[in-house]
Amino acid sequence: MSDSAAERLAKLRFLRRVQAQDLARTDRWIADEEQRTAAAQHQPLAPAPGWIVQRLPSGTRQVLHAADCWASGKATQTVDRAEAIEALADGATPCDVCQPDKVLRVS
């Protein structure tokens, strides 16, 4: 069962249309990604707070964490480096997970 030349030509033209549609879709994806990248480059990133003071429910104890520490709780206050060092000097406990006292070189 062989295809005639006209049938082979019709199949090849169909294949070309499918491939052209795939190429057009890929070009759209590239253009969309270029737009997202350009938009992201124009948005300034907000500076992340460096340190978190966690106030424990008892209210008498504080724990100091790095800003990205997963162990910090809900009752928190963001502070800068100087305030973090001051909190440690005032008796705040450094977190055992992120060890901010070592990062701050206070231990």
Considering the domain architecture, whether residues 39 and 63 belong to the same structural domain is answered as: no
**Long-range CB contacts (< 8 A, 24+ apart) of 29-36?**
none
Considering the domain architecture, whether residues 27 and 71 belong to the same structural domain is answered as: no
Considering the domain architecture, whether residues 2 and 39 belong to the same structural domain is answered as: yes
Work out whether strand 93-94 and strand 62-66 pair parallel, antiparallel, or are unpaired: parallel
**Rounded distance, CA 37 to CA 82, Å?**
36
pLDDT of residue 46: 57
- Residue 75 lies in domain: 51-103
- Tens digits of per-residue pLDDT, 64-99? 988 888 888 776 788 888 888 898 888 888 989 888
Name which residue leads in pLDDT, 57 or 84.
84
**Rounded distance, CA 84 to CA 30, Å?**
45
pLDDT of residue 4: 92
Considering the domain architecture, whether residues 55 and 14 belong to the same structural domain is answered as: no
Considering the domain architecture, whether residues 41 and 67 belong to the same structural domain is answered as: no
Q: How far is CA 30 from CA 18, 27, 39, 86, in A?
A: 19, 5, 14, 50
pLDDT of residue 41: 80
* Total domains present in the chain: 2
Considering the domain architecture, whether residues 55 and 71 belong to the same structural domain is answered as: yes
Considering the domain architecture, whether residues 23 and 59 belong to the same structural domain is answered as: no
Work out whether strand 76-79 and strand 93-94 pair parallel, antiparallel, or are unpaired: unpaired
The yes-or-no verdict on residue 1 having pLDDT over 70 is: no
The yes-or-no verdict on residue 23 having pLDDT over 60 is: yes
Name which residue leads in pLDDT, 90 or 44.
90
Contact 69, 83 (CB under 8 A): no
